[in-house]
Amino acid sequence: MDPDLILFLALSAVATAIAGATAFVIFWPLALVHIRDLHPEITAILGEGAFVKPRALLWLLRAEYRGNPDRNLTGLTTPSRISLLVIIFGLVAGGLLWLLAEIVK
């Protein structure tokens, strides 16, 4: 396989991660404001300023918000979770493809 093609695919994976980051920056702050205003019990779990706190991101990745009956909360956190998964997938895929391109050279 051509290393240039592999590097192109790696770059495309990183671009996908950037698109996920864009969605994350839009939806996650909205979800956090909703949580802050209407769900003090979740705010206590996540803590203040939870935008990039590992505990809050793990809470989001584990989809622990599903236990709450608030449909608006689910409507804001689900796109946040999907975009966070896209970021992780894009960066991992880009890194693995870059390593493959280095091996193939």
For the segment 63-92, what is each residue's pLDDT rounded down to a tens digit? 999 999 999 999 999 999 999 999 999 999
> Phi/psi of residue 93, each to 5°?
-65, -45
pTM across the whole model: 0.93
CA pair distance 79, 55, nearest whole angstrom: 18
Q: Is 97 left (phi over 0), alpha (psi -120 to 50) or beta?
A: alpha
CB 53 within 8 A of CB 32: no
Helix (H) or strand (E) holding 100: helix 71-104
> For 49-55, what is the mean pLDDT?
94
Closest by CA to 101, choosing from 1, 32, 34, 30, is 1
In the chain, what are the domain boundaries? 3-104
